[in-house]
Structure 1
Amino acid sequence: MDTTLQDPLVGRLLDGRYRVDARIAVGGMATVYRALDTRLDRELALKVMHPDLATDAAFVERFMREAKSVARLAHPNVVGVFDQGADGAYVYLAMEYVPGCTLRDVLRERGALRPRAALDVLEPVLAALGAAHRAGFVHRDMKPENVLIGDDGRVKVADFGLVRAVGSVTDTSGAVLGTVSYLAPEQIEHGTADTRADVYACGVVLYEMLTGGKPHSGDTPAQVLYQHLNTDVPAPSAAVPGLAVELDELVAAATARNPDLRPYDAVELLARTREARAALGDEQLDAEPPQARAQAVPDGAGDEDPTSVIPRVRPLPVEHTSLLPAPAATAAEPAPAPRRGPRRPRGPLLVVAAVLLALGIGSGVWYINSGQFTRVPAVLGQTEAQATQRLADAGLEVGATERAFSDVYERGTVMAVDPAPGERIRGNGTVTLTLSRGPRIVKVPNLKGTPLAEARKALAEEGLATGVITYEFSRSVAQGAVIGSDPEPGTERNPDSAVALVVSKGAPIEVPSVTGESVEDATATLQEAGLKVVVAPERIHSPEEAGSVAAQSLAEGSRAAKGDTITLTVSKGPKMVEVPDVVGMKTDEARAELEDAGFEVKVEKTFPYLGDTVAGQSVEGGSTAAEGSTVSITIKGL
């Protein structure tokens, strides 16, 4: 039975414009329909939020943020968003319709993919995420269900419903939105998700494509979350013997539990993916995994993974267990048999025993209360390297590193420690450091007149990144110094935002003409103007004398910057060409003959100018003349 018939939206005209034709898929927060835009007469996908969530302002805001985020990307591997709106209780997005299937459908049908096919899917996915990351967004819910494969083979990333700006990726609600099988450890434990969380999810997706199964499994979501936190993703070759080590290394890099050890964003992971592909031969790329059977669907490969709200994992309290043995159960002991022989004095032995017992009990109590613990040293305000070394000297390790904004601590220094300084922690325990990202809002500095290298450094010190660099001529700003920036100085931005710079090429130099001059004279003229000179090794025929300059790479009057290079080509002299005999020909025929041979033609007529036959030519037919030179023909009168 077609369940779409029971859907109240199917057949309805939404917002007076979108005719809902069929239901495509149902997710945790929205339903996707195939629809027709009756105004533009085009097929599209309509993503409609579940009505019970439409009353939640946070969900609606997140839903609308998807449209704005994707609209800014405009990438060929991202499902485009055309429109957004609401019709009563129905909040919707009008999106690009991609006829085809999802990567989940492919894995359900085929089990596992050949390495070449897996990389063919992964690379456009990373290209799409790379564009999002460089635009300042994190997807946060990468999984096979959100990878669309069109009937024409195009790969597109969908469902940016959980997208967040890089500067606002910490969730303080105590819950994490996402899909259990693809959550990065830091999302689970701390609620943080930057570009490296998407990298982790892509590593899990690659593992699943290569092996046909998920790296972590369990009877409950909690078991899967525990494995993300405590178990590395296994090498794909453990499930697919003979798989190239480069693919193992690619998965290991992307799914490192410590986010600092992963590629920083999808652009970097894409570069590593292409390097791995280049290192593989056709036999390795086209090796068919044993899991790739049409009938056999590996465990977990066909399971739909819904996006859900997941409680954040909190550190569990350590249970202290006494190290002293429990007292043995007492029982009535038989009276000792009477001793024979002389008794030895027991006083000194009892004293020694009492002392030893007191020392033993005191040592045990000390060990339980203090001896097995170390106090966390004070490392606030220190750099990460300094803090790590001081903790190591105390016998402690850095278990994780987080980042947060701070108006007090300088960027890159320790602003918080867990456990806090002075608190006790078991010997060889781990400590979490929180490093400052600097103020939440920073101002773009005034860099005009600053050399480019110093400008880069100044931006980094303010917590900003250097964006696109363009060059312009300037008579007032020295060559190599900054003319201006975008955004302008004083503009407030989030840390790590990119600032584009315009750099001076110096005052423009008008290139003089040196064609026809000797190489020595031409070189001197250009060097005096501030240009560098290179002489081409090959020589060419030209009307200029042999040994003189035949051509220059920058034309006369063009503008160049000081230090630019101009290439000079030296003449071999004119090329000598045989002159055709055109006497007796008609004027047009003679002109065409001479021009085809490479000559300029000048026509001279004698009075009364009524004839059209060539009576003579300035250069005798059969002789040679310089190519490009002028040959005059004389037309006789009547």
Structure 2
Amino acid sequence: MTITPTDPMLGRLIDGRYQVRSRIARGGMATVYLATDLRLERRVAIKIMHGHLADDNTFKSRFVQEARSAARLAHPNVVNVFDQGQDSDMAYLVMEYLPGITLRDLLKDYGRLTPEQTIDILSAVLAGLAAAHKAGIVHRDVKPENVLLADDGRIKLGDFGLARAASANTATGQALLGTIAYLSPELVTRGVADARSDIYALGIMMYEMLAGVQPFVGEAPMQIAYQHANDQVPRPSAVVPSVPHELDDLVIWATARDPEARPRDARVMFERLTDVEKLVRDPAAAAAEGLQPTMVLPSIEASPADTGGATQVIAAPGRHRTGPVAPDATTTLATVARTRGRRGYWWIALLLIVASMAGATGWYFGAGPGSFTTVPSVVGVGQADAKKALEDAGFTVKLDQRNDPVVPQGAASGTDPAAGASAGRGSTVTLFLSLGPAILDVPTVVGSQETDARTALARFTVAGESSKQFSDQAAGVVLAALGADGNALPAQYPEKGAITLVVSAGAIPDVAGKSIDDATATLTAAGLAPTVGDGEFSDTVPKDTVISAKTSTDPVKLGDPITIVPSKGVDLVAVPDVSGKTINQAAKIITDAGFAFDTNVPELFRDIVTVNNQKPAAGAQLKRGSTVTANYN
């Protein structure tokens, strides 16, 4: 049997305030736990430095630096840091708890993301990173593992453990930090980093989101580092042809080997991503704003000498352009259309007269007062929006209310006529607003059979699988009905509310007197997990026969452990030989062997008189606790 060691931190109270509940993740520098802040009664994530690093001042200072860096940022896309401190030999950091997954988890599940998903996530990360850059902080470890996707839809950048205040050239001063797959060329070759190094890492991450793979791979870290320093990151469309070329261009711009050819910080890249988003999501609207689908970025091979050594600012296409611009396809098509439009005006006029006569008739029955139209679905929509949707469809709206177990209170729960039905334009449609679920009386089901209980609870949502536990009730009898909070149901409960039935699995089988194999088979068949214990001596139960079975849980449920106690038979011990020993020496030897001692020698002479007669004789098998006599005859 394998025994999994228990984390000693679980259940520990840190600094008299934070109660550790469970482990979330473990990294090379620290372990992150879910904890409860007892003072403020809220869940938090507490990051505790590994014990073997506690004496390393470098790691300690980096740990404290993370707290200071993150604490300087107050942004909805950056993980909040609440506290930092030391408890005995532990350095810890308290952050907001975000239940959810990381971007790395998402990529593992889906391989790659759509352009729209990529833009949504990048927009949030760039917004948080822009706040850090504005505060003079370089993250230096941008990667999917540090992008948190909360269950409620929030996207946050975390883990500022490698962050530092930015300067013209922020040197690491030690071995390269961060993950090698996302290190910029200047970090690889010169060990310096600034905001543009974060942009490079973000570009690599963007490539991975669009292509589903990292641009540079190798068997050893040095191979990957060499590619970062010497090769240009390819376009994602080389792997996935459907990637829009606007996103291709953005990846190439962000991952230029020369830092001067990249966006100077996250704000600049965020502004360009906003334009790209319009081009990707709605090209027509983007064209109306003067944005063009083609963008010419600075050559990635341009040297600082070619640009005068200054950071190049890339203007969004269609804004502040100078120099001749070639006519695009839209202009050409417009010119052709105008030319064709001059032809055949007379034919068009004749057709318009005929069409207008037919159209008038068609309008009356198709869109006018004599028409029918389909009632739109508005379930789950707010009152104002639902009413507007019905009025826009040509109906007069009458409001009413009704209970609905699914739709939240105040939202539309349906219409009369129902959605999808045809109704005359201008007719009245009743819009029902939800009152929330009806509150129903709960029938008594404890003591009834499970099938009968399910029928009685038909207006509620009963879990498909009941919770089975052993009891003195017959199998199938309902022992309890629990609500969504795990407690017994109150007298009244919401319609369609979640209910779990606790049903008897019958009594635990009596295996006393069975062989160990038979007892094991019987308990396994009943749904328990039996193990064989060390056994006990018994005067009445034969050896290797089961004395009893012991449980350690209450109540006992299916799958719970149970220990079989076998008999070791009668406890027989060989009588020791005490001939030639003094009476007191004999007494000690016999009692140490587990027997009671008796003698007819007075106490005054027991240290000088030796044994020459013992009963039973030496070597005889006698039940432990029996009396052995040693005398001098």
TM (norm. structure 1) is 0.44
Higher relative contact order (CA 8 A, sep 6+): 1
TM (norm. structure 2) is 0.44
